[in-house]
Structure 1
Amino acid sequence: MKFSIYLNAQSPDGAHDLEVVEAVTEQALIADRSGFAGVCLTEHHFTGYNTYGNPFTFGAYLAPQLENLHTIISVAVPALWNPLNFAEACTTLDLLTRGRCTIGVGTGGSPREYQGLGRDTANRAALMDEVLEVAFQALDKRDEDGVEIDFTTTHSSGLLTRRIMPGGFRPSIRFARAALSDQGILDAAGRGWALQTARDELDETVRKWALYHDALDRSGHDEQTIQDARDWSLVQKMVYIGETDESALREVTPALDYLDASTAKAFQGAAGAAKFQNSVVGVAASDRDAFLRKAMIVGSADTVAREIEAHAERGIGHLALVFLYGQMDPALGNRSLQRFIDLVMPRFANASGAVPVGVAS
């Protein structure tokens, strides 16, 4: 079992934005020296759901401060991007992290995010695919090949005559796909990409994990591609560790109340939006019992360790854990994180996924 830390904190208003960004930066630095494998950054815009907004910008800020952590974008939403801007963001992050990064993509984002950027959520899968198609052509472009890339997508067009700069650190950038559906899981395996999934009960997660690994084995990709995909596939969980199960649930309840309210605003409360919400996030905090079962691991250190061990025994080898969310007091989130480091991680002898400084893995 290895662990990554997932940074997706919310702030109550603009006066607290710097405080929240400093809090998640501190968590990244704590994780960097405590045996975590990676730091996960996500993309959200003007919905109150992610203070730092752009994961590539924040990843570039963190890069020179991290000695061990692999930077994982989980996830970027290509449908909201110009394809050449997206390609450039990927190569820049790969270069600045010295190849210690994985770019996860997905169709996520709320209707308000799509609306704000002039996109239609009904076409989100097609929009993602067309942006990725052009971005991958751009990533392959070399000055000496003499080829011009003349492209048109639903929301952009252009002519690329020179290579994307800067170039990535590695010959090929490592990608992943966030997926809840079987179709998305099979697509990730077929591309030789890592899988990022979340918000399911263990039996369903294990089924999806088996589907993915079986398809990956049959994908025909080379051994290194398959190993990289296995190494950086992950399951995301929100975590809170208290002194007891009862105190943990009591202390985390205000954060859950906030997530319930903010999700309702982000997804606008309409039936169509609710269907979109379920396809993107699986289960929302409005269904409290299901959210606790599927999206979270809450309790004492012993309870959390037992739940993680259950995942390990079923073959889930990488958990991305969120410790600060729902406008939680950073001190509370840090206390939970420290309990995890002190009382849970030592129970997993091979938990450290840290890569030696200067080594691109």
Structure 2
Amino acid sequence: MLRFSNFLFPESRDPDRDADAIREAMEEALLCEQLGFEVIWLAEHHFDGNCAYVDPVTFAAAILSATKRIKVGFAVAQVSLHHPTRLAEQMSLLDNLSRGRVIVGLGRGTAYNVYEYQGYGIPAEEALERYEEAEGIMLQAWTSSEGMRHEGKHWTLSIPRLRPTPFTKPHPYVIRAASSEAGALHLARRGLPFLMNVQSYETTRDRLLQYRATMLEAGFGPEQVEACLAESWCWRNIFVAETDAEAARIAVPNFIAMQEQRKALRERIYAEQGIIMKKETVPPARVDPAKALIAGSPATVAARMAELEATGIGGVIGSFRLGPMPAELAAQSLRLFMEKVAPQFRAAAPALAAE
């Protein structure tokens, strides 16, 4: 059965209102605990106000300290911007503070916002190789009882045994992001679940069919394939109102405004520096309301959730507060979703198991 979570992705357009946006995000997290969501997912973006709390590690600690049940996941930590030893320590500490309520979502970092790499003094073209090297360091640091040495392209390290040791054995639960078909199939060949970014329903369905086939071709059995799919998540923008018309009236303008805000600094940097990471000649699915937004009455949204459930995906990461949407409207949508949509898919959540 489908599982539900909330992607806490608060926008702050005015630097003087950052504190308000962060407070509202914490209130939304507490509401998610109250309503029974399984996971709160946190993003990581810098310098543009598109993710008001900026640092998901610090914000995760605040949420975990204020809650008792809900898990906190990273979707994702931009690994290429972090020192791997420090990030491994931080995740291990969160794992202990929460007694295993952390989902360590790892990714290379943004494929769009060059200014995030510039602000950290890291060449954007090194992002993928830094991520791959850092992931290996983190997994070894978590699991080595004798300490470790590492000599790589970006880090030369001599790490005594990592402290604190993880609460979850052999290490905190890890999941990887795969924004492309190639990335998803690479994880399928390794027998690993994944986080999928916003895609059209057709792309989601087709990618999961290919994921299944690739796992089977790699020698994994049907039960292993279904177990990986059950732990995989897809991201959708969601808004629920009493009627389809009311949902569209509120959600569509806020969705469009959110997309405009998310590309504003990227385009300014391109105008000033002539640098752009990914030139898009065709608008991608993530910016098209018809493909990337599920807005409607509880019955309409439940029907769209049923479509996703039929693909075999285990969970939905819902972004409920869209761009400049007032917090109270997002809260109403969250309540309607959990009171009238989620009960149609209610099932016991599977236990997290480390890789």
TM-score by length of 1: 0.84
Q: Report whether the alignment pairs 1:59 with 2:57.
A: no
Instruction: Give CA deviations for 1:157-177 in whole Å, capped at 9, x if unaligned.
Output: 4432x1222111112222111
Counterpart of 1:207 in structure 2: which amino acid?
D
Q: Report whether the alignment pairs 1:113 with 2:111.
A: no
Counterpart of 1:31 in structure 2: which amino acid?
C
Give the whole-Å Cα distance in 2 for the aligned partners of 1:205 and 1:284.
12
Out of 144, 165, 168, the position equivalent to 1:167 is: 165
Aligned match of 1:309: 306
Aligned match of 1:288: none
Contact 2:92 2:167 in 1 (8 A): yes
Aligned match of 1:84: 85
Q: Report whether the alignment pairs 1:134 with 2:137.
A: yes
Aligned match of 2:50: 49
Within 5 Å, give how 1:1-361 maps onto structure 2.
Answer: 1-109=2-110, 110-142=113-145, 145=146, 148-154=148-154, 156-160=155-159, 162-172=160-170, 173-216=172-215, 229-268=228-267, 270=270, 273=276, 275=278, 283-285=285-287, 291-350=288-347, 353=349
Contact 1:7 1:41 in 2 (8 A): yes
Aligned-residue identity in percent: 26
Distance apart, 1:71 and its partner CA: 1.8
CA RMSD of aligned residues (A): 3.0
Give the whole-Å Cα distance in 2 for the aligned partners of 1:96 and 1:224.
33
Contact 2:248 2:295 in 1 (8 A): yes
**Alpha-carbon distance change, 95 to 213 in structure 1, aligned in 2, over 3 angstroms:** farther
Instruction: Give CA deviations for 1:305-351 in whole Å, capped at 9, x if unaligned.
Output: 1111111233233111111131221011111111212221222243x
SS of alignment partner, residue 212 of structure 1 = helix
SS of alignment partner, residue 275 of structure 1 = coil
**Alpha-carbon distance change, 184 to 252 in structure 1, aligned in 2, over 3 angstroms:** same
Give the whole-Å Cα distance in 2 for the aligned partners of 1:204 and 1:55.
29
> Which structure 2 residue ranges, 5 or more long, are not aligned?
none
Counterpart of 2:251 in structure 1: which amino acid?
V
Distance apart, 1:272 and its partner CA: 6.6
SS of alignment partner, residue 69 of structure 2 = coil
Q: Which moved more, 1:126-135 or 1:73-82?
A: 126-135
**Alpha-carbon distance change, 220 to 166 in structure 1, aligned in 2, over 3 angstroms:** farther
**Alpha-carbon distance change, 57 to 218 in structure 1, aligned in 2, over 3 angstroms:** farther
TM-score by length of 2: 0.86
**Alpha-carbon distance change, 256 to 66 in structure 1, aligned in 2, over 3 angstroms:** same
Give the whole-Å Cα distance in 1 for the aligned partners of 2:28 and 2:346.
22
Contact 2:7 2:317 in 1 (8 A): yes
> Which structure 1 residue ranges, 5 or more long, are not aligned?
286-290
